[in-house]
A and B are shown apart, each in its own frame.
Chain A
Amino acid sequence: MGEIKRESPVRFTASPTKSEVRDNWTVALEYDEEGQGPWLVDLAHKTRWDLQDNKVGEQRPGDLTVPSAPGDCTFANNTLVNRMNRTQASIYHLGAAAPAMPDFSGYTDVTESTVFLALFGPNAFFIAEKLASLDFLDPAKTAPFLYQGPFCHVPCQIVTLEKAADGAGGFLLTCSRGYGDSMVHAILEAGVEFGLRPAGENCFNTWAQGLQG
């Protein structure tokens, strides 16, 4: 019996030029000719939790507060907390390693449940508007914020982390894991005219670190 290898739901046709094995995942760090953006990064290996409780606002995942209004997000220390509804929040750990899940029954590890992608860089939202009827550039909203709605007809959680009126910025997207192939194909097809390319975790980290200051 061979080595245990964890498989991402997302496959790019390009092969990474630099990768590392982390917790049995082969994490792509860099791709050849990542270009000047926009970029699409597979973050399937990043830990995600579901938190549900009647008093969800009293929880402090990663020592962060759970925002009080549905759609609001808290982003610090590589952790993103997204308030989904009255009783539910989702938590994304964007750092290299996630902390242990708190000993509270309201948490469920849903890392395996979803595709987890980052689409960011110039024109990122012009790609998004080819696939979703959601207003990512709504002037009334300040990033980060969460949408729960269809993206390419598939129910998704989408967190806008950065936005600019010229369509630049980026967002994180999760949807059912089974849609991985279809979703990536759709996004890459939509991004052809903007030069969308797969990129590695390093590229994402640079962007995410910049957002956190």
Chain B
Amino acid sequence: MNRLNQLPTLRINPSEKLSLSYRGKSYQGVAGDTVATALYANGVRVFARSLKYHRPRGLYSLDGECSNTCMDVNSIPNIRTENTLLKDGMVVKEQNVMGSADRDWLSFIDKLDWMMPAGFYYKTMHKPASMWPVAMKQIRKAAGLGVISADYQMKGQYDELFLKAEVTVIGGGAAGMTAALAAAESGQRVVLLESRPHLGGCFDYRVSATGDGTPLYERARELAEKVEQTGNIRVFKHTSMVGAYNNNLITGFQVGNADDVFTERYIEIRSNSVVVATGCIERPLIFDHNERPGVMQAGCAHRMARTYGLLPGSEAVFSVGHDLGLEAAVDLFDLGLKINCVADIREDGQNAELMLALAERKIPVLKGWVASKAHGSKKVEKVTLSTVEGTVKRDFPCDLLVASAGLTPVTGPFILAQAKMGYDSHTGYFLPTELPAKMFPAGRITGINNPGSIEASGRLAGLKAAAAAGADMGKTVADAEKAASTLPGPERGCKLVTAPVKGRKSFICFDEDTTIKNIKQAIDMGFDVPELIKRFTSAGTGPGQGGIPGHNLPLFVAKYTASINTPVPTTVRPPLVPTFLATYAGYNHHMFKHTPLNDSQKADGGIFRNIGVWQRARYFSDDFECKEEILNVRNNVGMLDGSTLGKFRIHGPDALKAFQRVYVSDMSKVKEGRIKYSAMCNDDGCVMDDGVVVKLGENDYYFTTSSGRAGQTVEWIRYHTRFDGWDFHLVNLTDAMGVINLSGPNARKVLAKVVDIDLSNEAFPFSGYKEFFIKDTIFVRAMRLGFVGEISYELHVPSSCTQAVWDMLKEAGAEFGIRNFGVEAQNVLRMEKCHIILGQESEQRTNLLDVGLGFLWDRKKADAKTVGAVALRQAEKDVGRLKLVGISMEDDTRAAREGALIVDNKVRGYVATMRKSFTTGEAVGMALVESQLADKGTRLEIFEDECNGVRLYARVVPMPFYDPTGERMKN
């Protein structure tokens, strides 16, 4: 197909060839083409088959208003090829066809429409019930859009952008651009969004002139240049607005060009005020076979020629209801299109100059006439025109039928901003009856079509928006208002919805194959509200987001029901324009925390897992039971990276008071040089956190929390002291200090080689705390703890030095065979000692007493002052609470899974932790069971998922399982 390569309006670059593959053949397009225009240039007319009836579908709009051109592009289905820019090497396939788009074996379904009345899937194939699964499979095979491979991996880079602006302008047509320029005069930050790849809107492709004789496309380019050169306007082209939320939060997405680093990017704009200059789309004309390939909207036909250099047909008939249609006819005729007839729905009110231009070109014009039927099978071959009353009919041959009932404003942004919409009987538009706060309409959306009015309206809206955002624009706004008032206002719109047809094959919604007959059926069944009819018939629920039926449906319903009320529009919801989920996911930065020892742990073979916000080494070999790691700690010495522990300083005159409030123990008993283990409860007495506290000075403490609770600790303490006005301060040192846990019978010997302090059991006993320097440089806080049940030193060192200390210990321990142990080995080691981990051996229902930590509670503290104490005192007398018990499996080769249920004739508890203990040789663990089952020796029945009725059995045994006297960790 030859291109009109010399037109000044073109948005393609004919000299830059791009290739695409379709049906195994290679085709050529040019830069600036969409996938659909490139295919059209290569003679493709049938792009897809419809959802339900498998009717052939062709190019109808160019802004993605329907699914007619949805295709599979590069293995991604449902791509709206009419507004997807062509990239070199794209692979395009038809979708929802058996055979090809041209020859679809399922097209016979079109003849079975009588079997599929409105809502048929709600009513049929449900009886007998067993039929439904069979029917559903067949329906899914035959109906639908594209199919994505389960193995498909999304390619591309998906980015995010969070913008701030005083004024956001949605729509980069003439009104949007003048609005942006006007708002920018205030010096405020302005963001302009345009969904097409270029600015210009409805001026961009038109050669008719403005008041001063400048062709509209030239004026559009002048404005675009000004906008792009204005420093405080940020222009985002190929960017669709998709959402509007409270306080003028506007969201959208931008499609990247070949030069951009992103494929698509999500954009979020927090804006003080918004100008909506989204213009109009065409309101489809409804007649028989109104979606036959070869039927297209006036704007589509016009832009095909002027923007893409493609004459959309050779012999055309126009059936339109607005002057833009007449203008398109004149211009396309001048470009070489033969026009057999122009049928204008309107009896009068046409632009006189356009009527004269048509007459000069000897194009027959029928006023008060409309297309009533498009003939042909896979493309239009002939059209029947009739008077709007249907009294007289005439046939015209054609291969292009340009059809458009009128215009409809793109009011999605207003609806999303919760504007109430009402029917304007002059324009025939649904318009906001009351504007949302700081949101202003501009341009054709208000019903105006005069170019001067469009620009004046944009300027006024831009100035008002700037003023609403805080700029002093009083006089300028008044001047702009005065200027706009002298120009032509909103034009009377065409009200006709359907040609005089019965509607069996007159489609109101192309995406869902919904016909006028279906709408009538729904109304006859009692549905009288467009929102309900929409749901019952599916009209407007397809990928076009209601672009085709959105306006016609409520008008038709009002007419068919002879409603005396004004029509009520259906609503729209975000996203206004569909896009990839990948775009919403954005860049998806993996924001995880690493400990200071992360790299060396990896180098040592650590296998990492995400644990909360941290990535931690869970194993150090492929043996996920960690036998060697565990036995090395029990028999020798191991090192664990415990840097994720929460670590805090609390200081200030009332620090102790705050501690007394949140800890269950009497914290005044914390002695210098000693550590104190305690726990925090919530008001119900349930344990929230545990850790150790050391005293640094008077009202100055260093304390630890569990890794998972570190983030909440400061808020927790402040919350529980919020009414007291106490003077204390908290500093989160979690990341400031790395923690090395050196454990095992040889731990003391290893540490002794690195530090210069007395490590004897007398000088540094269990529960002791010391501060010292390594090599006079590295400050260390050292604690004698025993979480894993062996001699254990927890060394807290500045994070930047943690690796250095680790390396020293590793070198010192080499002669003992020191090795790393990970979180899983630690888990088993502490389980053997029955040292609990909160969250693992506790849950929402379990309090301090239930998990065996009652010894921490100092009952002499004033109850009302200790969080949870009142509840604990009451719970002491409760029977039937969950209790933490030690359990041992009857079959030592088979440990029950964590979370397995303990049952008799009902659920009586569950297994909290259980592992095969290499130290004891038994499968042991801890379980939370109802207190009646907590007696030692009780036999427990365990139910696991997928156990196929085979139960496991365990017995309650004394805790701990290992070194019950604590000799090993204390000496």
Contacts and interface: CB of A to CB of B under 8 A. Distances in A.
A54 B725 CA distance: 11
Contacts of A44: 800
Interface in B758-811: 775, 777-778, 798-804, 807-808, 811
B591 A154 contact: yes
A177 interface: yes
Nearest to B733: A113
A58 interface: no
Contacts of A165: 189, 231-232
Contact of B700 (A105, A176, A185, A193): A105
Given A5-B804, A108-B649, A137-B189, A176 B735 contact: yes
A9 B799 CA distance: 9
A142 interface: no
A130 B162 contact: yes
Contacts of B189: 137, 139, 165
A180 interface: yes
A32 interface: no
Contacts of B799: 7, 9, 112-113, 177
Interface in A100-114: 105-106, 108, 110-114
A6 B778 CA distance: 10
A118 to B, nearest CB: 18
Contacts of B367: none
Nearest to B590: A182
Contact of A178 (B590, B593, B798): B593
Interface string A132-145: 11010111000000
B729 A7 contact: no
Contacts of A9: 594, 596, 799
Interface in A6-34: 6-9, 24-25
Nearest to A6: B800
B614 A189 contact: no
Given A135-B164, A153-B591, A182-B589, A112 B735 contact: yes
Contact of B804 (A4, A133, A192): A4
B892 to A, nearest CB: 40
Contacts of A111: 736
A137 B82 CA distance: 38
Interface string B262-294: 000000101000000000000000000000000
A106 B729 contact: yes
Contacts of B270: 133, 135
A76 B802 CA distance: 33
B44 interface: no
Nearest to B799: A112
Contact of B731 (A8, A108, A132, A176): A108
B801 A4 contact: yes
Nearest to B470: A140
B736 A137 contact: no
Interface in B725-769: 727, 729, 731-737, 754
Which 6 A-B pairs give the minimum distances between C-beta atoms?
A178-B593, A52-B729, A177-B735, A6-B800, A113-B736, A133-B162
Given A106-B652, A165-B232, A178-B613, 7 more contacts: A5-B804, A9-B799, A131-B160, A131-B162, A181-B594, A182-B594, A192-B261
Interface of B: 159-164, 187-189, 231-232, 260-261, 268, 270, 587, 589-596, 598, 613-614, 649, 651-652, 697, 700, 727, 729, 731-737, 754, 775, 777-778, 798-804, 807-808, 811-812
25 contacts: A1-B808, A2-B807, A4-B778, A5-B803, A6-B800, A7-B800, A7-B803, A9-B596, A50-B731, A106-B651, A106-B652, A110-B736, A114-B735, A130-B160, A131-B589, A132-B162, A133-B162, A153-B589, A154-B591, A176-B734, A177-B799, A178-B595, A182-B593, A189-B587, A189-B589
